[in-house]
Structures are given as structure tokens and as C-alpha cells.
Amino acid sequence: MQLDVLYFAWVRERIGVAKEQVSTTAVSVADLVKELSAREERYAVAFQDMSVVRVAVDQILVPLDAPIGGAKEVAFFPPMTGG
């Protein structure tokens, strides 16, 4: 499956790109995190504490165990600090 993966704020800085296309067999967000973390150190560093990372699938906030089947876009970012 081909996915657009987006990163924001310090997650983006640690991974080094804002957006990339990822080829994956991951079924859930958690699988995708595992897969990416195994690929390269910079992902493992960004995802080492998932309690401070939020996830959106197709621009909707979801929990870490959410499925990604059929999704076009997955985004990783820190807790929001707007306002």
C-alpha cells in the first residue's frame, strides 16, 4: 500500500522531512510506527516515546492502534499547542 506520511513540529525536525511516500504492509498505525522505526535511526528517535506523539489518519485524530487500511494520509505530530 502507498501512503503519504506527514510530520509536523519536532517530529518533522527529528525525521528530517515534512512529507514522504511510504510503501507499507502495516495494518495499524502502531505497525507503521514499528516498520518505520526499524528502517532508520531517525524514525526510532522520533517515535521512541509515543505517549508524546499524536496521530491523524486522513486528517482525523485517531488512537495509536487505529487501522490504516484504505487511508491516503497518515500524520504524526506532538500534542497541539495552538491558541
Partner 1 sequence: MTISVQQDDFDLGFEVTTLTKNNIDIGAVVTFVGLVRDKTGGTLISMELEHYPGMTEQALAEIEQAATKRWSLNASRVIHRYGNLKTGEQIMMVATASPHRKDAFEAAEYLMDYLKTDAPFWKKEHFKDGADWVDSKAIDDAAKDRWTS
Residue 11 near residue 76, CB atoms below 8 Å: yes
Q: What does the per-residue mask of binding to partner 1 show for 8-47, with x meaning CB under 8 A? A: xxx-------------------------------------
Taking the C-alpha atoms of residue 83 and residue 63, their distance in angstroms, rounded to an integer, is: 23
**Which amino acid, 44?**
A
Among residues 48 and 59, whose Cβ is nearest to partner 1? Answer: 59
CB of 39 to partner 1, least distance (A): 23
- The binding site for partner 1 (CB under 8 A) comprises 6, 8-10, 56, 59-61, 75, 77-83
